Structures are given as structure tokens and as C-alpha cells.
Amino acid sequence: MSTRRFIVEPRGLASPWLKLLVPIGSVFAALVVGAIFLALTGENPFSVYKEMAEAGFGTTRSVAETLLTATPLILTGVAAAIAFKMLVWNIGGEGQFLIGAVFASGVAIWLGDGAPAYVALPVVIVAGGIGGAFWASVSAVPRVYLGTNEIITTLMLNFIAINFTNYLIFGSTSPWRDPEGATFPQGRPIPDGSRIPEFFERLDYGIFIAIALAVLAWYLLGKTRWGFQVRIAGDSADTARYAGIGVSNKILGVFLLSGAYAGFAGGLFVAGPVGALDPRSLILGLGFTGIIVAALARLNPLAIIPVAVLMAALLNSGPSLQSIGVPTATVTMLQGAILLFAVAGEFLIQNRIRRPDKSPNTAPSSGEEASPA
Amino acid sequence: MNESWVVELAFAAMVLGTPLIFATIGEIMTERSGILNLGVQGMMLVGAVSAFWATYNTENLLLGLVAGILAGAALSVIHAFTSVTLRVNQIVSGLALTIFGTGLASFLGQAGSDPLVGNPAPVVFEPLFSGGITEWPIVGPLLFGHDLMVYVAWVVAGFASYYLFHTKMGLSLRAVGEDPASAEAAGINVSAVRYAYVMVGGALAGVGGAYYSLKIVPTWQDGPIGEAGWIAIALVILASWRPWRAVFAAYLFGAAGRVQFTLQTLGEPWSNIPSTILAMTPFVFAIIAMIVLTSGKRARFLGAPAALGIPYFREER
């Protein structure tokens, strides 16, 4: 039509370098935005960032704490990635995480001291997954059979789960509440047989379970027939139907699996560092943060592992900021900025910008990549 | 009679519903243009802190309101850029805006040598009328006992409703949300319209936030709005994208926010209901209403814009 200074057109397959460069650039750009706000409020951004890096990775102890926080983030990140890949907008990871924790701690308390650890531990973690899948099903079933928008229902279920967890400890005399914590209500400690053993500082073997589950998700989505069909259905529901793939079944399966992963995170966190259904240690936004992890890792379950470690270090640096008089909200602000830049960066991965007068080669290349986040 | 718990509950429901009206109508206008903005919570919070900051420093409510409007609109431009210009995923972009806005609002409240946090607002919105008229039974407090913003909310609802369904500009807006390609063919600049109404949504979310920090919670604290921004997004659907219905839906949710206090004053057995159970009822109600009212084709029938959430790719040649 008219003379445009630039032409934007869909790119074919983006180079691996670009796919790596955009997330790294997102983090860097977010740090610049954060630095501007820090400088405006009279802080030295470099010393603040140095403090944060030391709090996250400075000592072996802080590395152990970072990996401890990364454990649930890997799983809530995979939970979001599984769903988003198929354009299922499960933003209920927070609620599925909490109900997973409720199920896991409930089963652990019910089993008591009687069961040996090699029985109790798998049962407790699987119970977490079942809890998460159950909570996801409240949104998934209406989505699949009635067409109800899952964005709002998963979101609302987060707030219901948060209040329900608080109810079990603060609002009732449920089996989850510690009968001996007379002065201030707290969660009943789960039996030692249901706790994941620690091997370095407070770090427990849960990190390896989380990594194994992330690899499993990568295998399921990338290497199996089921995963192939899910990817087709995610790209185009019509194509999938034409190929005889049951789209409804795939959506239901993906939704429940996504919930199960968030639930596993809750189970591992309860059986790991927390050791009880303790709302103050569990309601930290780990489910929401999983969405940031998934987007920054571009929905790749393997990339989620390092991204979760980075995000965990960022989360853990909050308290250290308080000690130097910098708002802890800096962490949330940086998280939001990272996600904003990561989602905006998708534009660069999916499109190329060129001058109009150059080559006449206007035919868009095939094999376009439909990655949603 | 005006001391009856029913009147007091209704009065409080209107106050608590007012910021929801602003935010919900803002999101209705945004979604009517085809853009889903899940950043309402973030825009309300940044509006709240900006309004509080301006009023705290100038002791002027109007300047506070203006600051809230500008801050909400400014933040919304980010979402307009990602979803209209870059055409990336609106859901993730909106969530990012909420996380960023939540952090920014909290940061601005805590930062500096003399932080806002813990300080009371020097002036707050006061009742508009006084004297005998406000003491009439029932209608006295409910219709004449409020501050200016409660009435402004009605005006906004009336204006938005008229604008959407009875003006040419409103028709253009709805056309862009229903069928952007046809709207473009009819000479409407789809991108400009979408930018404009994303910003209208941001501005109104800012007003809602300002009403929290200058009336409902007039001492600055982290997260003074609770989950209001998320509730507003659910209210858009319950109001089926119509401004007047948003008023009633917002008052209903305002009542849900107050009922806990009311039950405490009623004594046993009402006061025994745990607060956590009451706090989850609005969300349970929203889910049930969603499933019953808006499933499948019914959502379209109710008025969901056909192009909602779908990026628009203009034909280049």
C-alpha cells in the first residue's frame, strides 16, 4: 500500500541463538527498568543488585536455599508450560499448588508413624498430584463439556484455595491444625516418615524429583504420540479434528496433568522444607511465579529448570533487601518487568523486521512457530 | 430504621461496590474493543498509590484523582503496545502488567527516606449532602448519604451505556471488537481505537484504585484493594459487557465484602461463621455464575465481543 519505513513479517523457524538471546535480554532489560526506579528513589542500583546476587548465590548455604525454592518453581513452571502449550489458560497454579499441599499433608497425617518411608513418601507426593489435578478438574470439566472460560474459573479457584487453606488452620479445628499449638494456630507437623531427607544444609532430595518430573514432561510432550497430538491440537484445533484427534480429551488430559504438576509442587514443598500445612510458609505466590518461569523458558520443560533457579534466587533475595533499607517489593517489580519483556520479546522471535526496498522475496516461509507466550 | 443492619449493609455495599464499578466499566470498554486486559489489579494498585501520593503532598482530592487516572492510563499503554502493536499474547501480557503494577505500587509506597506506608491521607472523600435529607428513612442514607464518587460512578455507568449503544463512536468501538477487518474496511483505525479504549480502561481502573486509597482504606498500606481488580474481571462477564449491569453486580459483590462485619454485629449463631469461609463466598458465587450464565454459546449470546483476545493482523497489501 503506502510507503512504510519497515515491514514486519512472520519469521520461519527462529534461530536457537535468538531464542536464547530474547529471554536473557528480557532479564537484562528488566534490571535496567528496576535500576531506573531504584536510582530515582536515591538507591545505588549496582550495590542493590550486588546484594541480591549475593543473597541468591553468595554462599553454599544460600545456593542450597535457592535450590530449595527452585524445587516447587520448576514444577509450577512446568504446570503452566504444559497447559499454555495447548492454549489452555490454566492460571490456577497457585490454587492447585495449595490443594496439592492440603492433600499431601492430609495423607501424611492420616498415615501417621505406622508406614515406612519408602511407602509413605511416594504416597504423599502422589496425593499432592491428585489434589492438584482435582482442583484443576473444577475448571477443566466445565471448560471441556460446557465451554466455560477457564481463565476466570482457575483464577477464582486460587482465591478459594487460599481461603480454604487458611480455614483449615486458622478457622477450624481440622486434623491439619496442630492441637498443641495453643497460643497461635499452626499446622500439625507431618510424621518424619513422610518427610523427604535432607542432604546438604536444608536442601532435600525433592530437587531431583522435580528435575526428573520436568524431564518426564519434556519427554511426554516432545517424544510421545500423545505429546505430538497435543502439539497439533494446540496449533490448530481444526487440523487436529481433521486428523481424527479427540481435541476435548486432549484438553482434559493436558489440564489435569498441568494441575497435577502444580499439585506435585505442593506435595514436595510440604514433605520437604515446610513439614506441615502452614499457610504462612505456603502462600508465597509460587504458583503465580510458575507462569513467569514458563514464559521466560518459552514453555520448554528443560529450559524451565535453570530459569526456575534464577527466579528462586530473585525471590530469596527479598529479605536481604530489607536489611539494607530497600523495598522488598523490588523483587515483585523485577518479576513483572521480566515477564513483560519476555512476552514482548516473543514478537522478535516470531517476526522479522526489514526495510521494504530490499529483496523482493516476500513469500513468507513455511513452518511457522505458534508459541503462545 | 436507618440504624437497621439491612440499611447499614446496603450503604456499605454501595461504598465498597463503587471502585468495582469504575474498574469493571473500564474493562468493559477495553474488552468491547477486542482486547482482554488482565492487568486491572496492577493498574488499580498503581492508581491507588499515585492518587494517595498526590493527595498526601497537595492535600487536594482532585489532584489525587487526576494522578490516579494518569497513572492507570500510563500503565495500560504497556499492554496496548504489547497486544495491539506487537500482537503478542494478551493473557500473559495482562498477568505481567498485574505483577509489575503490584510490585511498583508496593515499591513506591515503601521507597524513599519518608515512605508513604503507614501515613494517613490528609483529606478523604466526605458525604456530599448534609442535614435532614440524609435522615429520611432508607433513601436518606442510601441515596443522599454518599460522597461524590458514588454518584460519579452512576454518571459513568449512564454515560458509558449511552456511548456504547447510542453513539457513532460507540458503534465503531463495538465494530472493532466484533469484526475488526470489516471495521477497518469501513474506515475505522482499529489500532487507534484499541489503544484508546485500553487507556480508558486503565484510567477508570486508576479511579477505582484512587477511591480505595482516598476513602475505603485512607492510610497507605501494601495492597489496599484486596482482590478488587480480579473481581472486576469476573464482574465484566457477570455484567455481560453492559455498564448498567456492572453497577448492580458491583453492589452485590460490595455486599459480599461487608457481610462478614454484619454477621459479627448480629451475634450468635451468625458470628460463628469463620471469616475465611465468608471471604471465599464471592469467588464461589462468581464461578457458579460463570458456569451457569456464560458457558459455550451463551457467552456470545450475552454479548461477549467476537474478537476478544484475538490479535488483529491488518492486511499489508
Q: What mean pLDDT, rounded, does chain B reach?
A: 91
Nearest residue in B to A337, CA atom: B100
Within a domain: A310: yes
pLDDT digits (tens, 9 = 90+) for B23-72: 999 999 999 999 999 999 999 999 999 999 999 999 999 999 999 999 99
- Chain B residue numbers touching A155 (CB-CB < 8 A): 230, 233-234
- B293 interfacial to chain A (CB closer than 8 Å): no
- B261 interfacial to chain A (CB closer than 8 Å): no
- B186 interfacial to chain A (CB closer than 8 Å): no
Q: What is the CATH number of the domain that holds B265?
A: 1.10.3470
pLDDT of residue B144: 86
Q: What percent of chain B has pLDDT over 90?
A: 66
Residue B316 — pLDDT band, cuts 50, 70, 90? very low
**Owning domain of residue B29:** 5-302
- Chain A residue numbers touching B105 (CB-CB < 8 A): 329
pLDDT of residue A363: 46
pLDDT digits (tens, 9 = 90+) for B226-274: 999 999 998 998 888 999 999 999 999 899 888 888 888 887 788 888 8
A164:B110 CB<8 A: no
- Hey, which residues 72-111 in chain B have their CB within 8 Å of chain A? 78, 81-82, 86-89, 91-93, 95-107, 109-111
Within a domain: A185: yes
A7:B230 CB<8 A: no
- B181 interfacial to chain A (CB closer than 8 Å): no
> Which contacts (CB < 8 Å, 24+ apart) does range A304-309 have?
A304/A74, A304/A77, A304/A78, A304/A81, A304/A214, A305/A70, A305/A74, A305/A211, A305/A214, A307/A23, A307/A77, A308/A70, A308/A73, A308/A74, A308/A77, A309/A66, A309/A67, A309/A70
pLDDT of residue A368: 41
Nearest Cα of chain B lies from the Cα of A156 at a distance, in angstroms, of 5
Residue B78 — pLDDT band, cuts 50, 70, 90? very high
Q: What ipTM was reported for this prediction? A: 0.91
Residue in A166, A336, A350 nearest the CB of B101: A336
Q: What is the CATH number of the domain that holds A68?
A: 1.10.3470
- Name the domain count of chain B: 1
Residue in B81, B93, B230 nearest the CB of A155: B230
Residue B85 — pLDDT band, cuts 50, 70, 90? very high
Task: Write out residues in chain A with pLDDT < 70, as ranges.
Answer: 1-4, 181-182, 357-373
Q: What percent of chain B has pLDDT over 70?
A: 96
B154, pLDDT greater than 80: yes
Within a domain: A59: yes
- B112 interfacial to chain A (CB closer than 8 Å): yes
Nearest residue in B to A8, CA atom: B316
- Chain B residue numbers touching A45 (CB-CB < 8 A): none
- Name the domain count of chain A: 1
pLDDT of residue B296: 63
B274:A164 CB<8 A: no
- Chain B residue numbers touching A157 (CB-CB < 8 A): 283, 287
**Owning domain of residue A263:** 7-354
Nearest Cα of chain B lies from the Cα of A345 at a distance, in angstroms, of 9
What's the whole-model pTM score? 0.92
Pick B80 or A86 by higher pLDDT.
B80
pLDDT digits (tens, 9 = 90+) for B181-222: 999 999 999 999 999 999 999 999 999 999 999 999 999 999
Pick B298 or B290 by higher pLDDT.
B290
